[in-house]
């Protein structure tokens, strides 16, 4: 009896612990740390401190300086490394001021806690698509589009990509610029060149079309790939695809525009794209796997079981390079395919950014002056040079589109085609689609749109998903 | 005016000293518990976004925030969905976990060599923080790369969808949480140790078998622990949050809101509708209080021994 009990207990023990133990052996090729993505949303599974040490030294401090400017940024390793490098360089060049990193946030709501505690820094990080409740409603940010307070702002902001400046407004009638955009994050397609070669599929060019993309996915799967592409379930991707199919969420006057033939086509596309099995009669069925990079990174060394492409943005480049180096495969990147089809049309791509605003708590004239000078310097050719070795930034300045060391970034003996990140084959999509609504309704509307896509993915179909959004929009508190 | 006696003075002096001893705790409770609760309660009658703490609570809306789950179609849908998910989880997880943890405790209560080792092993998963555990299970249950699906495929059973399908999300969540049975098990063990051996000896003399002893002695004497575990489980389950977040990733409430637990509803509203989020918190407080009261009121089945 005792023996039986012992065996039973041992079996229970094994069943309880085998999975956690076994998990130690899983290698998905992912690295810790997160990244900032087109809209500024955090993106799990990002890269860690590319071009850096992982543990960045504390920045240079000018403790004897008369003026101190405080900074709060996103508490992700890459973000901290970036800011520390900027601070060190700026402080070294300007001993009369001390820029100091005092706060780290996990998300924008943290700024309210800082405000409550009376510890709001002079400069804070913001996501391009999330600032409106804080700039337009709570008044945390200063309007930087003011020559009196911020001399030279007109000329300075004149060099930024228009789509990024658009994202600095909190409504479609607002002309304020509430933060300095930092990076130009367009969706791109990363691809595993080694898998392409093994599959005998030609690596596409930057001027490829949507039809080319679909054909490439099919060719890869015909050669044995598990799926053609890892396609993120992500707001910037949804917005891009909706616009490409001719749909949109809202009209300029704030009325709902979701019920359209364009939306129906987009929903139809999504309802087929992630299918487990392919349908020979429809080339779109079953081409994609959902994920945040796990499948793309976990290349098994041969085409069978691989997912050779992923839709993503520049900040993830160092992480993908690391995964490619670990897995001994070659990485390449291409512009987002132009959504022109056989019958023509215009292609769009989501373009977003993160940035830094100067807070209304920064009232001292000297601090205000240096906060502005610091941000102008960060987003200058010299500033971008200082952080180009991190590899995760495409400068927000048009003048650096085809020059600057950001284009030469590489590690592990690898480089990719920098043109892909700024290639002009498609038009930029405005990601802050909520801007035609009153600012108090922005967050609510975004959540309702998230529900819409959840319904689409749950297989509820176009009519039910749209009707639900119409009903939810009607109940929106504006 | 009446003069204070020496005794009264001494009493006050003693009280002052006593108050000074407990002052750090009292201040902590007042500042970090009482004040936020009162502030949140007042805020629940105002329409306001999340903003810095101040005496400007926003726009007075009376009990509108408490009625919103009934009057606004969007909030009604979310509220009842969240409530349904939470109750479904509570209704299935609590009985299953109570029974399994009890059976595990009975098994581990045997006087066998090496039993302490097994007790420690079964308790260990409880020590893993919920966030870490969630992240770990997120990987283990990955439909494409998770180790469980790999094993199932190797055995020819086929991969399970886990958290990628609405219909399998809740069973998966319950399964994952079964690995924290050690928490209740340890309480059962403590109770089982208190069952007088003489009762079993008497029962054996009367010819009662092991099952009869379990039904007529062990369970009745464990009823106070059953009551305690039920109440604590209700409180814990109604506040389920961190594990779901880490298990399901950015979607956070699962496919088709299949894991939209009540606290997520509070979390989703905390920035834009802070007052409503506060009201939801107090509604949850009332629900937990009501459930606990029902359990307590119907607890005549609990048998208290002479020792209590």
What's the CA gap between B289 and B235, in Å, rounded? 9
A406 and A384 Cβ atoms separated by less than 8 Å = yes
First to last CA, chain A: 70
Q: Using a CB-CB distance cutoff of 8 angstroms, which residues of chain A are in contact with residue B39?
A: none
Q: Using a CB-CB distance cutoff of 8 angstroms, which residues of chain B are in contact with residue A440?
A: 49, 272
Interstrand relation of A42-43 and A97-105 (parallel, antiparallel or unpaired): unpaired
Q: Is A3 near chain B, with CB under 8 Å?
A: no
Q: Are residues A6 and A42 in the same domain?
A: yes
What's the CA gap between A336 and A397, in Å, rounded? 20
A272 and A284 Cβ atoms separated by less than 8 Å = yes
A26/B139 Cβ within 8 A: yes
Q: Using a CB-CB distance cutoff of 8 angstroms, which residues of chain A are in contact with residue B148?
A: 19
A202 and A166 Cβ atoms separated by less than 8 Å = no
Q: Are residues A123 and A241 in the same domain?
A: no
- pLDDT computed for residue B139 by the predictor: 85
Q: Are residues A426 and A334 in the same domain?
A: no
Q: Are residues A341 and A215 in the same domain?
A: yes
Q: Which of A54-68, A396-410, B19-33, B162-176 is least confident? A: A54-68
- pLDDT computed for residue A41 by the predictor: 42
Reduce the secondary structure of B228-287 to three states and give it as a string: HHHHHHHHHHHCCCHHHHHHHHHHCCCHHHCCCCHHHHHHHHCCCCHHHHHHHHHHHHHH
Of A350, A373, A399, which closes a domain?
A350
- Rounded mean pLDDT, B179-201: 89
Predicted TM-score (pTM) of the model is 0.81
B140/A22 Cβ within 8 A: yes
What value of ipTM does the predicted structure carry? 0.73
- Rounded mean pLDDT, B152-163: 86
Of A350, A367, A399, which closes a domain?
A350
Domain that holds residue A293: 187-350
Exposed e or buried b per residue across A58-67, where buried means at least 16 C-beta atoms within 10 angstroms of its C-beta:
ebbebeebeb
In sequence order, the β-bridge partners of residue A124 are A72, A357
Q: Are residues A253 and A391 in the same domain?
A: no
* Burial tier of B128 (Cβ tally within 10 Å: 0-12, 13-18, 19+): middle
- pLDDT computed for residue A29 by the predictor: 38
Q: Which residue has the higher pLDDT, A54 or B239?
A: B239
Domains and CATH numbers, chain B: 83-301 (1.10.3720.10)
Q: Using a CB-CB distance cutoff of 8 angstroms, which residues of chain B are in contact with residue A17?
A: 121
Which residue shows structure tokens 């204070």? B4
Q: How far is A64 from chain B (nearest CA, A)?
A: 32
What's the CA gap between A209 and B2, in Å, rounded? 97
Q: Are residues A269 and A300 in the same domain?
A: yes
B108/A138 Cβ within 8 A: no
Collapse the DSSP code of B104 into the 3-class scheme (helix H, G, I; strand E, B; otherwise coil) and give the result: helix
Interstrand relation of A188-192 and A427-429 (parallel, antiparallel or unpaired): unpaired
- pLDDT computed for residue A5 by the predictor: 62
What CATH number should be reported for the domain holding residue A310? Answer: 3.40.190.10
Q: Is A477 near chain B, with CB under 8 Å?
A: yes
Q: Are residues A193 and A180 in the same domain?
A: no
- pLDDT computed for residue A103 by the predictor: 95
Q: Is A15 near chain B, with CB under 8 Å?
A: no
How many C-beta atoms lie closer than 10 Å to residue B248's C-beta? Answer: 21
- pLDDT computed for residue A418 by the predictor: 97
Q: Using a CB-CB distance cutoff of 8 angstroms, which residues of chain A are in contact with residue B271?
A: 109, 133, 443
Question: What does the pLDDT profile of chain A (478 residues) look like in tens digits?
Answer: 566 666 666 666 555 555 444 444 444 333 333 333 444 444 333 333 444 444 567 888 888 899 999 999 999 899 999 999 999 999 999 999 999 999 999 889 899 989 888 999 999 999 999 999 999 988 999 999 999 999 999 999 999 999 999 999 999 899 999 999 999 999 999 999 999 999 999 999 999 999 999 999 999 999 999 999 999 999 999 999 999 999 999 999 999 999 999 999 999 999 999 998 899 899 999 999 988 898 999 899 999 989 999 999 999 999 999 999 999 999 999 999 999 765 666 799 999 999 999 999 999 999 999 999 999 999 999 999 999 999 999 999 999 999 999 999 999 999 999 999 999 889 999 899 999 999 989 989 999 999 999 999 988 999 999 999 999 999 887 6
* Chain B 150-189, residues with CB within 8 Å of chain A CB atoms: 151, 164, 166, 179
B51/A138 Cβ within 8 A: yes
Write the pLDDT tens digit of every residue in B63-76. 999 999 999 999 99
Q: Is A8 near chain B, with CB under 8 Å?
A: yes
Q: Using a CB-CB distance cutoff of 8 angstroms, which residues of chain B are in contact with residue A109?
A: 50, 270-271
* Burial tier of A420 (Cβ tally within 10 Å: 0-12, 13-18, 19+): buried
- Residue A136 DSSP one-character state: I
Q: How far is B261 from chain A (nearest CA, A)?
A: 15
* Burial tier of B250 (Cβ tally within 10 Å: 0-12, 13-18, 19+): middle
Q: How far is A443 from chain B (nearest CA, A)?
A: 7
What's the CA gap between B252 and A454, in Å, rounded? 11
- pLDDT computed for residue A344 by the predictor: 61
Q: Are residues A367 and A339 in the same domain?
A: no
Q: Are residues A377 and A243 in the same domain?
A: no
Q: Are residues A55 and A104 in the same domain?
A: yes
Closest-CA residue to B56 (of B308, B280, B274, B206)? B274
A458/B118 Cβ within 8 A: no
Of A350, A378, A413, which closes a domain?
A350
Q: Is A444 near chain B, with CB under 8 Å?
A: yes
Does the structure show a pLDDT above 90 at B60?
A: yes
Q: Are residues A343 and A283 in the same domain?
A: yes
Helices (H), ranges, A158-304: 162-167, 193-199, 210-222, 235-244, 261-273, 294-297
Domain count, chain A: 3
What's the CA gap between B295 and B14, in Å, rounded? 41
């Amino acid at each position: 009896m005792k023996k039986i009990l012992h065996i039973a207990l041992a079996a229970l023990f094994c069943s309880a612990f085998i999975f956690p133990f076994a998990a130690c052996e899983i290698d998905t090729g992912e690295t810790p740390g997160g990244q900032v993505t087109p809209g500024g949303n955090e993106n799990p599974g990002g890269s860690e401190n590319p071009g850096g040490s992982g543990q960045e030294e504390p920045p240079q401090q000018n403790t004897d300086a008369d003026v101190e400017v405080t900074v709060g940024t996103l508490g992700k390793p890459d973000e901290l490394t970036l800011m520390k490098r900027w601070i060190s360089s700026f402080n070294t060049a300007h001993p009369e001021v001390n820029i100091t990193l005092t706060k780290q946030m996990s998300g924008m709501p943290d700024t309210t806690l800082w405000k409550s505690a009376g510890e709001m820094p002079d400069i804070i990080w913001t996501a391009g698509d999330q600032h409106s409740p804080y700039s337009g409603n709570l008044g945390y940010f200063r309007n930087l589009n003011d020559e009196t307070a911020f001399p030279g702002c007109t000329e300075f902001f004149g060099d930024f990509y228009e789509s990024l400046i658009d994202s600095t407004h909190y409504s479609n009638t607002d002309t304020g610029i509430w933060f300095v955009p930092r990076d130009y994050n367009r969706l791109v397609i990363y691809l595993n060149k080694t898998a392409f070669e093994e599959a005998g599929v030609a690596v596409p060019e930057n001027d490829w079309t949507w039809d080319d993309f679909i054909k490439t996915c099919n060719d890869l799967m015909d050669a044995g790939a598990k799926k053609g592409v890892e396609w993120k379930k992500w707001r910037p991707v949804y917005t891009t695809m909706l616009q490409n199919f001719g749909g949109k969420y809202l009209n300029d006057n704030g009325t709902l525009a979701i019920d359209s033939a364009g939306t129906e086509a987009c929903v139809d596309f999504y309802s087929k794209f992630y299918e487990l099995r392919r349908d020979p009669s429809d080339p779109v069925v079953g081409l994609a796997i959902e994920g945040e990079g796990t499948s793309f990174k976990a290349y098994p060394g041969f085409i069978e079981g691989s997912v050779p492409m992923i839709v993503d943005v520049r900040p993830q480049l160092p992480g993908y390079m690391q995964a490619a180096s670990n897995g001994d495969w070659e990485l390449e990147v291409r512009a987002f395919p132009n959504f022109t089809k056989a019958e023509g049309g215009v292609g769009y791509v989501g373009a977003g950014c993160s940035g830094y605003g100067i807070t209304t708590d920064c009232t001292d004239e000297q601090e205000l002056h240096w906060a502005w000078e610091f941000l102008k310097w960060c987003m200058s050719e010299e500033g971008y040079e200082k952080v180009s070795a991190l590899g995760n930034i495409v400068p927000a300045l048009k003048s650096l589109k085809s020059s600057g060391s950001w284009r030469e970034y590489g590690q592990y003996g690898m480089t990719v085609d920098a043109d892909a990140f700024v290639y002009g084959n498609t038009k930029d999509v405005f990601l802050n689609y909520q801007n035609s609504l009153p600012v108090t309704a922005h967050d609510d509307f975004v959540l309702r749109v998230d529900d819409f896509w959840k319904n689409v993915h749950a297989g509820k179909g176009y009519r039910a998903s749209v009707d639900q959004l119409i009903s939810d929009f009607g109940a929106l508190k504006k | 005016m009446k003069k204070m006696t020496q005794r009264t003075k001494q009493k006050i002096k003693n009280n002052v000293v006593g108050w000074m001893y407990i002052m750090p705790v009292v201040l902590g409770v007042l500042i970090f518990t009482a004040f936020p609760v009162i502030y949140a309660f007042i805020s629940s009658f105002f329409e306001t976004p999340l903003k810095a703490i101040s005496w400007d609570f926003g726009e007075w809306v009376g009990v509108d925030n408490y009625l919103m789950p009934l009057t606004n179609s969007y909030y009604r849908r979310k509220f009842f969905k969240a409530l349904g998910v939470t109750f479904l989880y509570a209704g299935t997880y609590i009985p299953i976990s109570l029974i399994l943890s009890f059976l595990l405790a009975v098994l581990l209560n045997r006087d066998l060599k090496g039993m302490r080792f097994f007790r420690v092993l079964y308790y260990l998963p409880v020590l893993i923080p919920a966030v870490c555990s969630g992240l770990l299970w997120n990987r283990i249950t990955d439909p494409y790369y998770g180790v469980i699906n790999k094993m199932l495929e190797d055995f020819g059973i086929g991969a399970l969808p886990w958290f990628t399908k609405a219909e399998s999300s809740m069973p998966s969540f319950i399964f994952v949480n079964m690995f924290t049975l050690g928490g209740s098990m340890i309480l059962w063990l403590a109770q089982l140790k208190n069952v007088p051996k003489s009762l079993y000896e008497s029962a054996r003399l009367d010819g009662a078998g092991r099952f009869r002893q379990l039904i007529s002695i062990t369970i009745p004497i464990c009823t106070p622990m059953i009551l305690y575990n039920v109440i604590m489980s209700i409180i814990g389950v109604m506040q389920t949050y961190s594990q779901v977040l880490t298990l399901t990733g950015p979607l956070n409430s699962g496919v088709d809101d299949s894991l939209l637990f009540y606290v997520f509803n509070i979390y989703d509203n905390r920035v834009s509708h802070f007052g409503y989020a506060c009201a939801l918190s107090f509604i949850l407080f009332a629900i937990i209080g009501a459930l606990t009261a029902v359990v307590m009121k119907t607890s005549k089945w609990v048998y208290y021994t002479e020792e209590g």
